[in-house]
Structure 1
């Protein structure tokens, strides 16, 4: 399917063409027609699958004919709530790009920066607002935001909002919007608490699920290294010297780990920078900008800080610490191999992380290629001959056998 086959305004299609997009992704192909039909939608798909355009394009299209309808000041008609400042900025850039040939006004409000400039922009009137929960509530309490005219309400990266403790704020915000509105929820996964939230704020929703293994790009090579935890930094330096080149994102589990690795790489004359939650917004923005323009060629990040950031032409991803959530692995490696280009993901697994690998391979329903020829080898755990997705069945069978034995002891 081509974008031209979707019922989008010609001005929007022109903006899409100038952005050099021709074919919608799977999530866009499934979601856009439903949003244009004014359906409530719940979408479960990994970050990096094109979810922003999946709601931005139809929202612009739905508001296109209303952009000059008001004689007075513009009122906020679409609200996008997103968990992080980086995501808010990125979504704003997308909306501005796709609405180039319209008079729609879009802005983003988020914490970590001064309130006053945001108040001034809001006072002039806008059509589309992107906001982080805390800053949105602050501005509403101060009387700078009126949500009574909202027609479209979007919850973006809902599972991350849950992880960051924003769910109660989201419920408060939803109650400030009209009961009659179109609601869209996007999330990488739908855990139980998100499912409950969706049921409480969205009625008669159409559900779209994109299987994680379908979003793991075929043009991303995946390599796995088993090694002692103490040798991870040494292996990282070895690979950077001999194997991995170009723009690289390295994922670590903790903020301390990010800072420690950054200092090590800088001491070894690598152009490295980093982002995590304890850094100020200005420092995080500069780090991302430096990485985008290649002033820095290595970006070290925690998962929360890097969630949803769209950086093009990333050559490789290093999972320095393995994620304990399988879907996070899919999200991480999806930072490379974008827009049809090839990429490669290197994963370092110490013995205490073996279970994470098993769970990831069960999700992907395939084994990741193991590289044994490296300076810090360790005996890899033996894989069963059966496919990874049968692991849970084996566990169930073992439990049932154990329960039978217990029952026998009672008689």
Structure 2
């Protein structure tokens, strides 16, 4: 039997023993317990343990290096941060994150609710499934968690305590490199550029100093503006979904940053889903994704404004006109980050399946050019994106530009 008082990377047999020790409330049927590793991410080892009585648990353990690159090392304390964040998010937005049963600072592992009745949203999008409640639900989650952790509504001392508590410099460094730097210069030679668009990427991204200037501004803003406790990696691979429920998980990149970072990530990943559906001729799905782009932006902003009105505590933030200014900055950040995410997932180190699984080279090249064209507009003209329809218009304008219409 394994001893869990010293850190080591678990195997499947270890995870079974770990579940017995850490989640005894399940009353496991030891004779029928099984385990399989289900993680396909770059940072962690994820196990599903179950028995024939219907009990199950997910065990997530932090490794000390990226699975895609042994040269990139990380602080395993991120598991503690992630567990505590999920607990906090569960209080701010009940029913939108998995329940945490236990987290262990020695093994750098947490035991959480099994969401097998949900499907990974990225997988569902690749199958062109439609979820009518998604925009309503994800906007509620973002509005309540993001606004609920700002200086606008929180006691400032308590907010600063959270800011100190939830910081992982190593993970922030990854974002600063893979989102805000390397897609524009490939300085470490780690970009993955689809060969048919290599010249397009050089002209539109690598050689555009005006674009670089705006991204530099955004990078410094990301690094210095502790606005809200953001998820930090809120894409469709960090969401479980079914017809009735949306569950957000994997917040290990969470820290205090610009709240538009999360909203923009959601928008960009819905655009990736649209691209895949468009190539497949999935008209109903594409129509739904377009409505989601509009609704996610509008509903999130509307709910944030309502939350602001109901919970604002800072005296100066009650000044007439300040709320409108504050919301306009969130919209601009949302637009900019939608652009950053579109670009980094097309040309950066971590590409996205919605695009890479497009088999036809011509269709894939078109999709990638649409994403990059829209992204540049989202970044360069971010202050002009005033509503959800503006975001959809940007995508539609990019389609016309690439298609020469």
Which TM-score applies when normalising by structure 2?
A: 0.27
Q: TM-score scaled by structure 1?
A: 0.27
Structure ranking higher in helix proportion:
2
Larger Rg: 1
